[in-house]
């Protein structure tokens, strides 16, 4: 979405007088009732759950993904591990480049 479209949309929302409220309500409506990964049940009316569970929004797909705290934690650790191994690989590549240069 470009700036012009975004501005037009915001204007449209304001005209309707519901600002981001409508958006939030819509999102809430789309909230799944279970964790995307482990299918643990989610209760929208449980404030503690609402505050602890994690919601990600894919605006382009109009999708809302829900993760329980356990899976969120696991997902983050997984990402961290991938990043670490990527850094590790980058280091090795760098070393190889250096060695190649030394042999020139």
Q: Which residues bind Zn ion (CB under 5 A)?
A: 35, 37-38, 40, 68, 71
Q: How far is CA 50 from the centre of its chain?
A: 16
Least distance from C-beta 44 to Zn ion, angstroms? 16
Measured from the CB atom, is 51 or 99 closer to Zn ion? 51
Alpha-helical segments (H) within the chain: 3-16, 21-30, 47-52, 69-102
Contacts of 11 (CB under 8 A, 6+ apart): none
Least distance from C-beta 35 to Zn ion, angstroms? 3
Measured from the CB atom, is 27 or 40 closer to Zn ion? 40
């Amino acid at each position: 979405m470009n700036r012009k479209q975004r501005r037009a949309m915001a204007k449209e929302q304001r005209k309707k007088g519901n600002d981001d409220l409508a958006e939030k309500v819509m999102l809430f409506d789309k909230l799944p009732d279970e964790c995307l990964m482990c299918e643990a049940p989610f209760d929208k009316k449980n404030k503690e759950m609402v505050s602890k569970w994690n919601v990600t929004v894919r605006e382009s797909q109009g999708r809302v993904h829900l993760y329980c705290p356990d899976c969120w934690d696991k997902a983050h650790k997984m990402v961290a591990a991938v990043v670490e191994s990527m850094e590790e690989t980058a280091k090795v590549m760098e070393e190889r480049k250096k060695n190649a240069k030394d042999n020139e």
